[in-house]
């Protein structure tokens, strides 16, 4: 068996320990004679799995009691519609556009009410996070929406935007559990799990209780109404059982690593290896302003499309997979989520040094 260094932006690398454990339990989960994939979602066995997963996530993120944790389906994109449907009482919301995922959420919300762009970094191809210290918040806005870590462009908010009292909704798909956040700064935090937590399809929403009501937009499908799932403890219908089981294992793995403070330290040290190299390289350049760099997604370019393609090809041959940048931006991107070992980044940098030497 050969495992590659997988720099995919998502679905992405998961802890090997978790995959091995899941493999061992595949045919017979804890002596019950079946796989978690095969068991009833109403069984005691599965109740334990989902309840433990929720308790571990609550502990890791220090989630206050007045927030619900929902395990949902439909990926992060399903929440692009659910958020306006559940929150747009005044039919108005403010958006900060920092990349394609924020834009998609904005476009979807525009179908249900007045969506305002109150800040954007599109003028410089999303290479920075706009100043959010004195935003022009709309009086009637039901909430302010941000994408906290921009998977494609490699930027991340370093400070919580000042929403002047309005509810803050954050898509944290690509930075969740990479460092601590103060949950109380947000009304809603949600994340597709396929980057830092588990298999694609599951989306976890952490929502302040008072925002979960029957007062949703007319026509909201039952499955997109948060209250449906909150009332049923995420078991309104068959949940993505196997995905939730893997998420639970990753939460336990994170606890063993020392929790989110330890992950932050590990991620900072790991990202620094790559950023330090990019800052002194003659050939490779990071594309994001230094202050707003993501610890999870690191885009870089040589400035020459042919050289970029040569690099991606040779890197793949050397066992470094999925380094090609997003199809809309080109260049390269190394996604270095929690489960990417430091050694993977050290080896990548070694390879980049050698490539630079050989292609001067």
Ligand X SMILES: Cc1ncc(COP(=O)(O)O)c(C=O)c1O
Q: What is the binding site for ligand X (CB under 6 A)?
A: 10, 75-77, 101, 147, 151, 171, 173-174, 192, 200
- Determine the residue with CB nearest ligand X: 75
Q: List 68's β-bridge partners, or say none.
A: 207
Of 243 and 302, CB closest to ligand X: 243
Provide the minimum distance between the beta carbon of 200 and ligand X in the complex, in angstroms, as a whole number.
6
Task: Flag whether 237 is marked binding.
Answer: yes
Catalytic positions: 101, 171, 195
> What is the crossing angle of helices 342-358 and 259-280, to 10°?
10
CA separation for the pair 176, 151 (Å, rounded)? 12
CA dihedral 247, 252, 254, 255 (to 10 degrees): 150
Provide the minimum distance between the beta carbon of 297 and ligand X in the complex, in angstroms, as a whole number.
8
Provide the minimum distance between the beta carbon of 77 and ligand X in the complex, in angstroms, as a whole number.
3
Provide the minimum distance between the beta carbon of 156 and ligand X in the complex, in angstroms, as a whole number.
11
CA separation for the pair 360, 354 (Å, rounded)? 10
The bridge status of strand 92-97 relative to strand 143-147 is parallel
Task: Flag whether 238 is marked binding.
Answer: yes
Task: Flag whether 171 is marked binding.
Answer: yes
Of 199 and 341, CB closest to ligand X: 199
Of 79 and 252, CB closest to ligand X: 79
SS3 content of the chain, % helix, strand, coil (to 5): 40, 15, 40
For residue 141, which phi and psi values (nearest 5 degrees)? -65, 135
The bridge status of strand 67-72 relative to strand 167-171 is unpaired
Q: Two tokens at 65?
A: 């009691």
Task: Flag whether 76 is marked binding.
Answer: yes
Of 39 and 147, CB closest to ligand X: 147
Binding-site residues for pyridoxal 5'-phosphate: 76-77, 101, 151, 171, 194, 237-238
Instruction: Provide the annotated binding site.
Output: 42, 76-77, 101, 151, 171, 194, 237-238
| Binding residue positions for L-glutamate | 42
């Amino acid at each position: 068996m050969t495992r590659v260094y997988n720099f995919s932006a998502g679905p992405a690398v998961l802890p090997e320990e978790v995959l091995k454990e899941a493999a061992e339990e595949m045919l017979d989960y804890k002596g019950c004679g079946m796989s978690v994939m095969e068991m009833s979602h109403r069984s005691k066995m599965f109740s334990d799995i989902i309840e433990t997963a929720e308790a571990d996530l609550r502990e890791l993120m220090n989630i206050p009691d007045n927030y619900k944790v929902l395990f949902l389906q439909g990926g992060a994109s399903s929440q692009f519609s659910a958020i306006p449907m559940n929150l747009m009482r005044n039919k108005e919301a403010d958006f900060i556009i920092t990349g394609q995922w924020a834009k998609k959420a904005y476009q979807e919300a525009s179908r249900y009410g007045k969506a305002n762009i109150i800040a954007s970094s599109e003028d410089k191809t999303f290479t920075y996070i706009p100043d959010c210290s004195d935003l022009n918040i709309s009086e009637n806005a039901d909430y302010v929406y941000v994408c906290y870590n921009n998977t494609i462009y490699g930027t991340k908010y370093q400070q919580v935007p000042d929403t002047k009292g309005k509810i803050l909704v954050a898509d944290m798909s690509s930075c969740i559990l990479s460092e601590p956040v103060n949950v109380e700064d947000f009304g809603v935090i949600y994340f597709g799990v396929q980057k830092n937590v588990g298999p694609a399809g599951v989306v976890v929403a952490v929502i302040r209780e008072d925002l979960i009501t029957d007062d949703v937009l007319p026509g909201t499908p039952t499955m997109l109404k948060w209250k449906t799932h909150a009332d049923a403890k995420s078991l309104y219908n068959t949940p993505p059982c196997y995905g939730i089981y893997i998420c639970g294992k990753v939460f336990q793995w994170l606890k063993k690593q020392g929790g989110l403070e330890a992950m932050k330290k590990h991620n900072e040290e790991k990202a620094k290896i790559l950023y330090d190299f990019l800052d002194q390289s003659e050939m490779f350049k990071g594309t994001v302003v230094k202050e707003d760099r993501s610890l999870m997604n690191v885009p870089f370019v040589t400035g020459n499309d042919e050289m970029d393609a040569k690099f991606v090809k040779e890197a793949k041959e050397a066992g470094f997979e999925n380094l090609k940048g997003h199809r809309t931006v080109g260049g390269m991107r190394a996604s270095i989520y929690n489960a990417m070992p430091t050694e993977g980044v050290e080896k990548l940098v070694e390879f980049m040094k050698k490539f630079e030497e050989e292609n001067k």
